[in-house]
Amino acid sequence: MKTLYRKTFCFLLFLLLPFHLHGADINATIVQGTTKTYESILAGLKKSRADDTVALQRALLYKLINISKEAPPKSPKIEPPKDEKEYRHLAKSYGEWSLQKLDIQKSLEEIENKKEVIENQIAHIDANTSSLLTLQLQYAFYKKGENLYQQKLGIVKGAIQKAPDAFVKGLKRIDLDINASKSRLETIEKDISKIDKEIQRDEVERERLNLLGRTTEAQKLNDAIENLQKKRIEAINDKLLELFIQFSYALQRKKSDQVFALHQKMMDIAKAIYPDEVRDNFQSLFTQMETAMLGRATTIKGATFEKIKSALSLFLEEVNAPIFTINGVPISAAKMFFALLVFILGFFIGGFYKSHVARISLRNGAISASTRTLLANLGYYLIVIIAFFIALNIVGINLSSIALVAGALSVGIGFGLQNIVSNFVSGIILMFERSIKIGDYIELDENLRGHVSDIRMRSTTINTNDNIDVIVPNQDLIQNRVINWTMNDRIRRFKIPFGVAYGTDANQVKDVVLAAVAKSGFDDIYSDLYRNTRVIMTGMGDSSVDFELMVWIEGPEIFYPKRTISRFLTLIYTALNEAGIEIPFPQRDLHLRSVDSDVVVPVQLNNRDKCMQK
């Protein structure tokens, strides 16, 4: 039984042990202590044996005593300035308050982070540890410092809030010397320019010294550059002050355009040297003064306009920022956009030119289709090429360095663009040589012939009699044999072969066929001194005497050779049939080497064989 009790007690002790072994808490007496509190603790430490921990605790106590004795900060007395000197002093003070506010806020953030660290350490330390007092004193020191900074922050914020009203009241009763301000501004800008040149010179020299390994001299120059940069910031602050004087003068005179322009200019300058929190204070000051002096409606209108201008300026700045470089030339998004716009516009203008040439040629019958296409294509490609070079110029690529592009193209040609370049050059040759024109009827082989409907820089389109468009590379028309049926005129001789039976009078055949052609009424038959319709005998075949009708045809029927030949074959067949002239069919002789005597072979003789037997 005792064993059971003992085990139960040990188990409960094990469960309760974590609740007893917790860290210490923040000592409110030390945190909220007064000078007497800290002096009392210090007196007790003087009796302790001196070591590092005690020395640290004493140092913290001395700091706490000094902070406790420190008088609370006083608020600056802000009154409307009585003259320009006081007005300038108030403007400088406003800038200092804005910076102090930012510094105090950063300090408060740092203290808050340190307090969290100390709180975490106190929460995990044994209450009997000697270093606990050190952590409690350190936490109290941070807390006292936080309270002091909070007081200072409240004072600075109050000063910043009261300043706009003081500025406005001062503007209503003081006179500002605008000419002196402009003169000082010119001097300041010259000083800034001079400092910038000195910084650039020293930076170049520093780079040289670093390359030579003379680090000591380079460090001296680096220190000199830092001093120059500090002077530059001071000069920029002086510039902001003079611009603020001019801004205030414009407010006095109700010159809203100048007010908003100077407002934006000061904000742009402040952007280079001040963080966002400080610029927000400046923005608030300018806006409150504008509202008080110009009215809310005018301020909103002007602020909106300036925001639009600022946004537009920022947009232009971004799009004009270099994205990459080509041969040392920076290329921006704006350059690329305008270059692309010009190039696309070139295509549109070229297309408009082609359609305009087509309309003019249709109204003027003297311009042939081939001439129209030549003028349209040449003008179109010329416009596109000009647009291309203008686009290159907009991008900033020097046209004298176009050899780089040519070199790249030559490399591309070597890797597979030979056919494209060959077709391009062949297209130019076809356009100028005019051996093949729009509207010509050409024949590439026995299965491909048709009208030329278009000649482009890479290919030529042929429309067959079946209304099929065939795209032929231009180099094929240059390198291979091409039959042009209509290069000089639309007259072609057709040869229509036919045959008659043996025994037929050849002269009669010629007369019958020529007479039929003459009486046919075909108005597309052409005849002159050198080109006449003829019938000639071409040979004596196995089954017929062969003739050929050679007739000249003028007009569109030459483009339909099968239809034209069919028409004349029908005419010849009808004429020969009416004249009783036999058109033979193939005949064969059958020779039998041996025949069985019992087999009776009936033989039917035709008229010709009967005549021969008689």
Q: Are strands 545-554 and 525-526 parallel, antiparallel or unpaired?
A: antiparallel
Residues of the chain with pLDDT under 50: 1-22, 608, 610-614
**Buried residues in 79-109 as b, exposed as e (16+ CB within 10 A):** ebbeebeebbebbebbbebbebbbebeebbe
* Contact status, residue 454 vs residue 461, Cβ threshold 8 Å: yes
Q: What are phi and psi of 330, to 5 degrees?
A: -70, 135
CA 90 to each of CA 73, 78, 533, 584: distance values in angstroms, whole numbers, following the listed order: 19, 8, 115, 127
Could you tell me which of 537, 549, 533 has the C-alpha nearest to residue 504? 537
Q: In terms of residues, how long is the chain?
A: 614
pTM: 0.51
3-state class of 537 per DSSP? strand
User: What is the predicted pLDDT for the residue at 321?
Assistant: 73
Residue with tokens 């295509």: 347
- Rounded (to 5) percent helix, strand, coil in the chain: 65, 10, 25
User: What is the predicted pLDDT for the residue at 309?
Assistant: 62
Sign of CA dihedral 360, 363, 367, 370: positive
Give the separation between CA 273 and CA 278, rounded to whole angstroms: 10
Q: What angle do CA 311, 317, 319 make, to 5 degrees?
A: 100
* Contact status, residue 453 vs residue 488, Cβ threshold 8 Å: no
pLDDT tens digits for 426-458? 777 777 777 788 878 888 887 888 888 888 777
User: What is the predicted pLDDT for the residue at 614?
Assistant: 44
Sign of CA dihedral 535, 540, 542, 543: positive
* Contact status, residue 334 vs residue 320, Cβ threshold 8 Å: yes
**What are 377's two structure tokens?**
């294509």
DSSP string covering 417-477? IHHHHHHHHHHHHHHHH-SS-TT-EEEEETTEEEEEEEE-SSEEEEEETTS-EEEEEHHHH
* Helix/strand number for the chain, H first, E second: 19, 11
Q: What is the largest CA-CA distance in the chain?
A: 173
User: What is the predicted pLDDT for the residue at 1?
Assistant: 43
Question: Helix 333-363 to helix 369-395 angle, to the nearest 10 degrees?
Answer: 170
* Helix or strand run (H / E) with residue 262: helix 256-273
* Contact status, residue 114 vs residue 142, Cβ threshold 8 Å: yes
Could you tell me which of 316, 285, 290, 317 has the C-alpha nearest to residue 303? 290
Give the separation between CA 198 and CA 496, rounded to whole angstroms: 99
> Which residue type does 244 have?
F
Residue 173, C-beta contacts closer than 8 angstroms, at least 6 positions apart: 80, 82
